[in-house]
Structure 1
Amino acid sequence: MSTTIAPEVLKAAAAEFGTPVYVYHAEKIKEQFESLKSSFSACDVRFFYAAKSLTNIHILKYLSEIGSGIDCSSINEVELALYSGAKPENVLYTSNNIHFSEIERAVELGVHINIDSLSNLKKFGEKYKGTYPVGIRMRPNIMAGGNIKIATGHDKSKFGIPVTQLQEVLDIVNTTGLHIKTLHIHTGSEIKDVEVFVKGLSVMFELVPHFPQLEVVDLGGGFKVPYKPDEKGTDMELLGSSVAEAFKKFEAATGRHLQVWFEPGKYMVSECGHFVTSVNVLKETGDINFAGIDTGLNHLIRPMFYGAYHKIDNISNPDGPLKNYQVVGYICETDNFAEDRPLPEVREGDLIVIRNAGAYCYEMASNYNSRFRPAEVLYRDGKLSLIRRRETMEDLLRTQLF
């Protein structure tokens, strides 16, 4: 089955569910996951999908069905993963500056846990000692990622315990008898350079001798996904072979076998997503042609938040003459989706599709301007299924007290 969605399918989704609407292609997610498994076939590896990219429980359930674990960034994501049917042993909670009660709840639920602060590590050791194997998120002090807002491993980042505080970590471990099963790092997102992962791995290997019970080195995620037509993603085959070779050499030198974990998010779901919108109005101002669509930064904030590029197609008039447009939203705020973008001639009522809309798109949506969040639809086995209905006025009022 093709892992692209035909325009006719997107038009059918718009007709049945209205616009704007998110449409996700299940088989594209599976294709990405199979690509990962193939690229890392020479490694002892596990993958945990980074749920923060897209947490719809139908997506989480599908990922579990095809064999992926689920990585969570909040205790609520942990609860959602388990609710969707994932088994505790296939769920990982990588915490970030959280209250210790969330970690206690994660222990109750029986999932894997990575702790990212000395404070919580000490509390964990004092309460559980060596009874619950746990991971530590270290900060490798490596700058990486496509944008400073998504770089997480540098020396000014809030994430993880700096490697320079190793002795403090060891003091806690030795004092409390903690069982450290995993060492984790995550250097950022949109990482194209394979050497970043290799460098991070070398940092981890230097720490391994301090943790005799260690079983896993976790390299996080952050694989580059192509957004622009001429972009290339991370060379996964090269990354897989480089990581396999590094682990092989380490095992030969030390006699220690370690498993490697990854938490891909955007890589898994970005390309599966298609955001279908309708053109409300056209405006001409000087030499600018505005195409105003029925959505805004409240539904897809990446272009305004990160300056992110998303490919845009006019599926209603694909053969029209090319004109340059500024594609804008309906929010009372500047919300550009594209500037000076060549598109086939746009007419009011045309369907405009924003591509690569699976990761951090609906997930970062809001009710700004009291707008309803859109529906989500899953395209699987040639069928469209509604997996989240469009919000209504009752949803806006539901949590308000009268």
Structure 2
Amino acid sequence: MRYAMKACPSAAVLRVLTQAGLHIDASSGWEVRRAIGNGVPPERILLTTQQTPDDLAELVGLGIRFNACSLSQLVAFGLACPGQPVSVRLNPGLGSGHSNRTNVGGPSASFGIWHSHLERVLDTAREHGLKITQLHTHIGSGSDPEVWQRCSGLTMNLVRHLPDVTTVNLGGGYKVGRMSTELSTDLQRAGEPIAAELRRFADEEGRQLHLEIEPGTFFVANAGSVVASVIDTVDTGKEGYSFVKVDTGMTEIVRPSMYGAQHPIILIPREPQERPTKEYLVVGHCCESGDILTPEPGNPEGLLPRTLTEAQIGDPIVIDAAGAYCAAMSAKNYNSFPEAPEVLLATDGTFHLVRQRQTLEQVLQNERIPEFLR
């Protein structure tokens, strides 16, 4: 079981999950260094990246495993690490995600080597003395379990042409119910046909394969919340909308603006009092018309008001299910807003500051002024 650390690469989260025995799926050489710096043994890390790191040979020398996602990456690995075992990511020809932007399989996705190029993969491996010991496929985030199961069948057919493969990695992307109307993937139920597929393969081929999966969202999505405050309320008249403005937004949670993603939003009256409910659009603090926290599901261009307790300036407001691809994938420092602090709630009920609020000096620290402007 690997944790897709791009979902939330916080040092504290990495340490919690590493201590629980999980391995790591890293998406860049920088994530590899970050994981190692937080105590992850290199041999527990698989690097699957769009950008081959310049220090690939050094990272492999430390003990990480590399997953080649293109023919040129496989060549680069062969030149840097001839004779080494390698994993190969293939695009099986289909994909699935909660939106087109999270679909990473099929003909419209650049991720992985197209399945019909398998002979070229084998030729490249032979040329550099590489042994392909793992086959990797991943079709998208929020993928349909039925499509995932079809993908596993296609993957097993590809493995038949790769005699040295001992491990099959089917990626992650399992659905997580963030809203009360959404369901999470039942891993046991979704995995039963795949287990049967592996047993059938072992009977037919005489090879026992090890299965890996790489959940990210599934582990942490519902473990995080953005705690904010109402900073303003405005409206656009009887034919328009009522808006709640909050002191967060795409600087901490960009998923609604990117995907039309849905997150529970809870408004908590600052003073204990009964208030009526009201329909609101909730918008962020950025000077950006797309900084909207209540879009239509799957449509970041659409608007869908939410029923909330009537808002007053200063009321706390919580955007829930924000543990995955929120702090990790936000428009940090847009409008020069500093990075928000992060607090960890431990199992014993204690709170721990795990990221300090950024200062303006830290926002600006890498800027340099040329002499002619001094």
Question: Could you say what secondary structure the match of 1:210 adopts?
Answer: coil
Question: Could you say what secondary structure the match of 2:219 adopts?
Answer: helix
Which residue of structure 2 aligns with residue 326 of structure 1?
281
Give the CA deviation at 1:210.
2.4
In the TM superposition, 1:3-402 aligns within 5 A as 47-96=1-50, 98-99=51-52, 101-130=54-83, 132-191=84-143, 193-287=144-238, 288-316=241-269, 320-334=275-289, 335-338=291-294, 339-365=304-330, 366-380=332-346, 381-402=348-369
Give the CA deviation at 1:123.
2.7
Question: Could you say what secondary structure the match of 1:114 adopts?
Answer: strand
The amino acid across from 2:234 in the alignment is K
Which residue of structure 2 aligns with residue 14 of structure 1?
none
Question: Could you say what secondary structure the match of 1:386 adopts?
Answer: strand
Give the CA deviation at 1:273.
0.6
Give the CA deviation at 1:228.
2.2
Give the CA deviation at 1:100.
5.3
1:228-271 CA-to-partner distances (Å, cap 9, x unmatched) read 21111222221122221111111112110000111101111100
In 2, Cα distance between equivalents of 1:123 and 1:55: 27
Q: Is the 1:115–1:136 contact (alpha carbons within 8 Å) kept by the matching residues of 2?
A: yes
Q: Is the 1:194–1:238 contact (alpha carbons within 8 Å) kept by the matching residues of 2?
A: no
1:293-344 CA-to-partner distances (Å, cap 9, x unmatched) read 1112122111111111111001336963221111111211111112410011
What fraction of aligned residue pairs are identical, expressed as a percent? 38
Q: Is the 2:8–2:328 contact (alpha carbons within 8 Å) kept by the matching residues of 1?
A: yes
Question: Could you say what secondary structure the match of 2:183 adopts?
Answer: coil
In 2, Cα distance between equivalents of 1:126 and 1:211: 21
Higher helix fraction (1 or 2): 1
Structure 2: state its 5+ residue gaps: 295-303, 370-374
In 2, Cα distance between equivalents of 1:154 and 1:316: 47
In 2, Cα distance between equivalents of 1:177 and 1:378: 47
In 1, Cα distance between equivalents of 2:316 and 2:106: 42
Give the CA deviation at 1:102.
4.4
1:358-377 CA-to-partner distances (Å, cap 9, x unmatched) read 11111122100011110011
Question: Could you say what secondary structure the match of 2:123 adopts?
Answer: helix
**Which range moves more in the overlay, 106-115 or 311-320?**
311-320
In 1, Cα distance between equivalents of 2:59 and 2:87: 13
Q: Is the 2:145–2:174 contact (alpha carbons within 8 Å) kept by the matching residues of 1?
A: no
Q: Is the 1:93–1:106 contact (alpha carbons within 8 Å) kept by the matching residues of 2?
A: no
Q: Is the 1:276–1:354 contact (alpha carbons within 8 Å) kept by the matching residues of 2?
A: yes
CA spacing shift, 1:329–1:250, aligned 2, 3 Å:
same
The amino acid across from 1:122 in the alignment is V
In 2, Cα distance between equivalents of 1:127 and 1:357: 39
CA spacing shift, 1:320–1:108, aligned 2, 3 Å:
farther
Q: Is the 1:100–1:120 contact (alpha carbons within 8 Å) kept by the matching residues of 2?
A: no
Which residue of structure 2 aligns with residue 37 of structure 1?
none
Higher relative contact order (CA 8 A, sep 6+): 1
Q: Is the 1:280–1:294 contact (alpha carbons within 8 Å) kept by the matching residues of 2?
A: yes
The amino acid across from 1:401 in the alignment is R
CA spacing shift, 1:358–1:112, aligned 2, 3 Å:
same
Give the CA deviation at 1:113.
1.2
1:1-29 CA-to-partner distances (Å, cap 9, x unmatched) read xxxxxxxxxxxxxxxxxxxxxxxxxxxxx
In 2, Cα distance between equivalents of 1:255 and 1:351: 60
Structure 1: state its 5+ residue gaps: 1-46
In 1, Cα distance between equivalents of 2:163 and 2:367: 53
Which residue of structure 1 aligns with residue 372 of structure 2?
none
Question: Could you say what secondary structure the match of 1:336 adopts?
Answer: coil
Aligned residues: 353
1:182-221 CA-to-partner distances (Å, cap 9, x unmatched) read 1001100101x32222211111211223222211000000
